[in-house]
């Protein structure tokens, strides 16, 4: 992007969880100054460590990527527990926990601190964008940006136009994503948008098939990978997202759309109760051993 007037920089990233870390890494690797904000020091320390590790291996992971100067990339990221540095941000991408009360309070704070022109990109799985926009005094500057994991290698973002979102905001989001080497697919606001409306049903039905004993997890995933050429099957995807997040998203979709087809499978609920949350807890539909590597056949042998 040669037009410096369009250059969106610096960028605030709020929430240093899995997606927030990926967004911060990707922004820094594409030359942006980043303000990564989280309420927890532990989370910020873990974010720094993981981002550094991932920058180091990025050229191996992403086809065509060049080796980067790790120290230089890391210097572009400022880690902070305070919101104040966000007053200078040209764009804010929010990735906090998918809990309405938390999101609401974060958006009230952001609205007070950020400049009135600064757009807010909400990274949410299922919360309607208009609901977030209503909390702020800048509804036309609020949109949804649904990043996929792992962010630095995913070439496309689902961009959500809320009922009040103005064209300028969409254009700025597209410009920012383009600076990150990403394409935008713009959809209208609806709970779960396109991706999660379809994905959550697919995961839930796959869990139901497993629950009914129709097929084992490996067989279900293999059908998607080998017949439909997906990189991951639905149960591996659920393990990657986190079963608690899947359960929470299904509940949000059921409540928002008043449709019982989103009712979570009892097996999913009992796995979350038992803390079998997927990769992050070490076991979900598969068991994750050394370095997050999974192999269901090793279950019981460790």
Partner 1 sequence: MTSEAIKARLRELCSRRAPDLADEDDIFEVGGVNSLFAIELLTFVEEGFRIRLEDEDLDRKFFRSINAMAALVERKLDAQG
Residues forming contacts to partner 1 in the complex (CB under 8 A) are: 54, 56-57, 59-63, 67, 150, 153, 225, 229, 231-232, 240, 290-295
**Residue 230 is among the residues annotated as catalytic for this protein:** no
Whole-angstrom distance, CA of residue 270 vs CA of residue 4? 53
Q: How many other C-beta atoms are found inside a 10 Å radius of the C-beta of residue 214? A: 11
Residue whose CB is less far from partner 1, 153 or 166: 153
Per DSSP bridges, beta strands 11-14 and 34-37 are parallel
Name beta bridge partners: 12. Answer: 35, 92
**Shortest Cβ 67–partner 1 spacing (Å):** 8
Residue whose CB is less far from partner 1, 14 or 199: 199
Q: What values do phi and psi take at 222, rounded to 5?
A: -65, -35
**Shortest Cβ 150–partner 1 spacing (Å):** 6
Residue whose CB is less far from partner 1, 66 or 82: 66
Whole-angstrom distance, CA of residue 295 vs CA of residue 298? 6
From 146, 211, 230, 294, active-site residue: 146
Q: How many other C-beta atoms are found inside a 10 Å radius of the C-beta of residue 255? A: 12
Residue whose CB is less far from partner 1, 102 or 232: 232
Q: What is the 3-state secondary structure (H, E, C) of 151-194?
A: HHHCCEEEEEECCCCCHHHHHHHHHHHHHCCCEEEEEECCCCCC
**Shortest Cβ 199–partner 1 spacing (Å):** 16
Catalytic residues: 146
């Amino acid at each position: 992007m040669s037009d410096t007037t369009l250059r969106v920089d610096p960028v605030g990233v709020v929430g240093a969880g899995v997606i927030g870390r990926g967004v911060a890494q990707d922004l820094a690797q594409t030359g942006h100054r980043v303000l990564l904000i989280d309420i927890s020091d532990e989370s910020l320390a873990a974010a720094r460590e993981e981002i550094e590790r991932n920058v180091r291996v990025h050229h191996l992971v992403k086809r065509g990527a060049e080796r980067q100067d790790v120290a230089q990339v890391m210097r572009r990221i400022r880690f902070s527990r305070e919101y104040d540095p966000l007053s200078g941000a040209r764009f804010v991408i929010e990735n906090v926990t998918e809990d309405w009360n938390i999101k609401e309070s974060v958006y009230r704070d952001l609205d007070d601190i950020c400049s009135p022109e600064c757009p807010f990109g909400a990274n949410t799985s299922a919360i309607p964008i208009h609901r977030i926009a209503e909390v702020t005094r800048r509804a036309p500057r609020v949109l949804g940006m649904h990043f996929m994991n792992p962010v630095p290698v995913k070439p496309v973002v689902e961009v959500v136009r809320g009922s009040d979102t103005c064209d300028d905001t969409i254009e700025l989001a597209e410009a920012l994503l383009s600076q990150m080497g990403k394409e935008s697919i713009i959809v209208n606001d609806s709970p779960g948008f396109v991706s999660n409306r379809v994905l959550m049903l697919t995961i839930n039905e796959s869990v139901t098939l497993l629950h009914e004993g129709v097929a084992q997890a490996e067989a279900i995933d293999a059908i998607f990978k080998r017949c439909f050429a997906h990189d991951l099957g639905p149960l591996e995807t659920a393990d990657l997202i986190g079963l608690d997040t899947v359960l929470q998203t299904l509940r949000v979709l059921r409540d928002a759309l008043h449709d019982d087809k989103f009712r979570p499978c009892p097996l999913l609920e009992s796995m979350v109760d038992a803390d079998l949350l997927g990769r992050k807890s070490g076991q979900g539909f598969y068991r994750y051993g050394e370095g997050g590597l999974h192999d269901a056949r090793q279950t019981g042998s460790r």
